Every structure is written in structure tokens, then in C-alpha cells.
A and B are shown apart, each in its own frame.
Chain A
Amino acid sequence: MADIDYKRITLDGLWHNNQALVALLGLCPLMAVTNTAVNGLGLGLATTAVLLMSNVTVSGIRHWVRAEVRLPVFVMIIASFVTSVELMMNAWFHELYRILGIFIPLIVTNCTIIGRAEAFASRNPVGASAVDGLAMGLGSTAVLATLGAMREFIGQGTLLAGAHLLFGDVARGWEFSLGDNYQGLLLAILPPGAFMGLGFLIATKNILNKRASRSAQKAAQSMPAQAAEA
């Protein structure tokens, strides 16, 4: 593997093979914690940290772990990292830890992580695996934060409420609010709002993809014509 296409790996993670919008993995936390942008972002970043560490570790040991025990080994590695991340969030992001609650330990069950370990990290060098983990994690985080922002804005008329839980006291003034007169649309906060919001995001991505491929086709058709004129 002389040349690794880092750009392709990054784009796959962020867009083409986005774990939340394309692979539709890790939807349980996606539905559960995205009632505000900060909650979504917090869990997304925790997941990204675990994904990055597990991908690097799995890749680093890929020549030593025998095929028949690889899955238990991967699960053990992931569980250890998740527990460590949970303890650290409890120590340094205590309020956010209390809000996210059970969904931090449940990162263990996020199929994205074991999926990337098995499908990518166990077959690729450490550098590529690190980029893959980071890109896949950030791709999911972007979806979590976007969905959280949508539901927060429609549901309770605020954006970035509680930003200080994640970014410290400097972020106390970041909250944007429509004011107390906004009644809020309860549906957006309740679980159905998460399904609908995710549906809209997936639809938007598909529309964008279709447009991109159409304009690529047009460009391909007009290219020979131009060549003929010349």
C-alpha cells in the first residue's frame, strides 16, 4: 500500500459513506440525545474520541490478533476506551455527563465503532485508520449536532442552550433564543421529531447527491461536444 488516498477516506467518512445518513448506524443515540445541539455535539465528540482510539489500536495490533478471537478482542478494546471516556466526562464535563447519562456507556454498542474496526482498521495501516476513525466520527457528529440544532430550534426556540456544559464559562453568552413568547413545537422534542428530522436530513443529502451526479453527467456530455468543435 504505497499511496493511501487520505482525501477519499476523509470524504467517505464525512459524506459519501456517512455512518448516520448512509450506513444508518448508531441511530439509537442519534434519536435519543439530539434534543439540543450541545447534547448531540457532546455525544458525537465522545464517540469520535472512542472511534479514533479504537481504530488506531485495532490497526496497530492487526498482525498479532488471530482471526478467531479478533471480535472479542475488538469489543474488549472498545469497551475499555468507552469506560475511560465515561470516567473522564464524569470528571471534567460533569453536568453534560449527567444529561447524556446512559448513552455514554452505550457508545460500546454503537455499530459504527465495531464496524470500522472490522471493515477498515483491521485491514489498513495505522495512519489511514486514524483518518478513517476521525472522519467517520466527525461525519456522525455533524449529523448529531445538526439534528440537535434543528430539534432544539423548532422545539424550544433556542440554539446552543447549555453550551457552557461543553465549552466552559466563555460559552454562557452563546445561546440564541427566540424569546419567551415562542411556544415551541413539542413534536420536535419528542422521539417522533428525531425520526422526522433524520428523514429530512437523509432526503436533503440524496437531493444534493442527485444534483451533483446530474451536473457531472452534463459536464461529461458537453465535454466531447466541445472537443469536436475544437
Chain B
Amino acid sequence: MAESAQRPWLSATIAAGVLGIFAVIGAALVGVSYVATADRIAQNHRDMLLAQLDAILPRSEYDNALLDDHIDIQAPASLGEGSIRIYRARKQGQPVAAILSPVVANGYSGRIELLIGIRVDGSLAGVRVLSHKETPGLGDKIDVEKSPWILGFAGRSLDNPPEGKWKVRRDGGVFDQFTGATITPRGVVAAIKNALIYYRSNGSNPFETASTHKEGDNG
């Protein structure tokens, strides 16, 4: 390339131009893919969320558009300090249950995100683990796919067992720990208890605030 050796600026300009052209082509490709998949992805997110909520609260128990009826709160330190979304289930306008997502528990290896449903009477509709990094075979028994342990919380409340007994057995409570893993269930039990306490101290407030749902907001 004798020509470009004499005029290095030309060579550099062409190189930059080529790079720029491919940047534009690449961005266009990603843009087209995004537009082509955006609706489906949004629908997948809603389906996924609805499937999770269904596991906690059967659809027959409420008649409002649950995914669209929610508020976002700033979580107190006891629930993980992030933003928590509260879905409000109602039947004929009357509050049925509040579903908190996510409540953060401290596991053996980091955050455990929980979905917790609480009925208006203060009893648990159900609890599921949304995500965790616990040890496979030990702490991952909190996952409903691995063990039915988490199902044992449905119907419990701060009276059942009494507040002082909301601990794993090793700490003098009523909930089973797992063989070889105590820290994980301890964290989960504490987080659920904190959620119940939060709900009790806030009474019907979560149901009275206007929904923060906006059009195009997919949870």
C-alpha cells in the first residue's frame, strides 16, 4: 500500500469509516431484533410473573387485574432495603391479599429473594423463592422444586406459631432446618416473620394507596 503510506491520514480515515459503517450495521441489527422480540418478551415476563403469583394465590380468590394493581414501597431495613412491589388482590373491591415481591432474606451465600403473599387476616397465603445462590443439595431445599419445605408456611401467621417461636428448631422455634444447612432456613424464616410484622404494622394502608401502574409497565 504505497499510496496510503504517503498519505497516512487517508488510510486512517478509511479505517475509521469502515469501523463506523460496521457500528451502524451492528446497531441496526440489534435494533431490528429488539423491535421484533419486544412484545413477546414483555408477554413472557407477564406470564412468568402470573405463574408465580398463581402458585401463591389461586385466581378464583380475586377478580381484579392483579398485575396492574400494585404499589412500590421503599422497604425497611428488615425486608432488605430495596424497592418492594406490593400486588393487591381484591374480590368485588374488597381486599383479599397483598403479595410482596421481592422480600430479601440473608442466605448462606448472598441474597435470597422471596415472593410472600399475606391475606388480609394476617395469615400467609404462600411463600416462594424467586432467586437464590444457596449450595446445591444443601441450602437449595428452600426451592419448591427440590423440597416441599417452603409450602409449610401457608396458613401460618404471627399467632401460629406465636411470634417468639418464629425460628428454626435449633434456635428454639418450630420450623425445620435442613441437614447440613441451618443458615439458609434461618434467614428465610426471619424474612417471612419480618414481612408479617411489616404487614401488621401497616394495616390496610397498602390497599388504599392508588396503584402506581402505568401503561406499558410490565412489572
Q: Is the pairing of A and B real?
A: yes
Question: Which A residues are within 8 Å of any B CB, using their own CB?
Answer: 35, 64-66, 68-69, 72-73, 76-77, 79-81, 83-84, 87-88, 90-92, 94, 98, 155, 184, 186, 189-190
Contact of A65 among B18, B36, B48 (CB under 8 A): B18
The 8 A CB mask of B23-58 against A (1 = contact, 0 = none) is 101110110011011001100100110000000000
Give the residues in chain B near A84, CB-CB below 8 Å. Answer: 29-30, 33
Give the residues in chain B near A68, CB-CB below 8 Å. Answer: 11, 15
**Interface size of B by Cβ–Cβ distance < 8 Å?**
25
Contact of B37 among A66, A72, A90, A155 (CB under 8 A): A90
Give the residues in chain A near B138, CB-CB below 8 Å. Answer: 186
Measured CB to CB, the closest approach of chain A to B11, in angstroms, equals 8
The answer on a CB contact under 8 Å between A76 and B44 is: no
Give the residues in chain B near A81, CB-CB below 8 Å. Answer: 29
Give the residues in chain A near B210, CB-CB below 8 Å. Answer: none
Interface core residue of B22, B41, B44 (most chain A CB under 10 Å): B22
Query: Taking the complex as formed, is B93 at the interface, i.e. its CB lies under 8 A from any CB of chain A?
Result: no
The answer on a CB contact under 8 Å between A88 and B44 is: no
Question: Which B residues are within 8 Å of any A CB, using their own CB?
Answer: 11, 14-16, 18-19, 22-23, 25-27, 29-30, 33-34, 36-37, 40-41, 44, 47-48, 136-138
Give the residues in chain A near B14, CB-CB below 8 Å. Answer: 66
Q: Report the separation of the CA atoms of residues A80 and B34 in the bound assembly, to the nearest whole angstrom.
A: 11
The answer on a CB contact under 8 Å between B136 and A189 is: yes
The answer on a CB contact under 8 Å between A87 and B137 is: no
Give the residues in chain B near A91, CB-CB below 8 Å. Answer: 36-37, 40-41, 44
Contact of B137 among A76, A90, A186 (CB under 8 A): A186
The answer on a CB contact under 8 Å between B37 and A88 is: yes
Q: Report the separation of the CA atoms of residues A68 and B4 in the bound assembly, to the nearest whole angstrom.
A: 13
The answer on a CB contact under 8 Å between A90 and B22 is: no
Shortest Cβ distance from A82 into B: residue: B30
The answer on a CB contact under 8 Å between B23 and A76 is: yes
Measured CB to CB, the closest approach of chain A to B28, in angstroms, equals 9
The answer on a CB contact under 8 Å between B19 and A69 is: yes
The answer on a CB contact under 8 Å between A87 and B29 is: no
Q: Can you list 10 A-B contacts with CB-CB less than 8 angstroms, sorted by A residue number?
A: A65-B22, A73-B18, A77-B22, A80-B26, A81-B29, A84-B30, A91-B36, A91-B44, A92-B40, A189-B136
Give the residues in chain A near B40, CB-CB below 8 Å. Answer: 91-92
Q: Report the separation of the CA atoms of residues A155 and B19 in the bound assembly, to the nearest whole angstrom.
A: 47
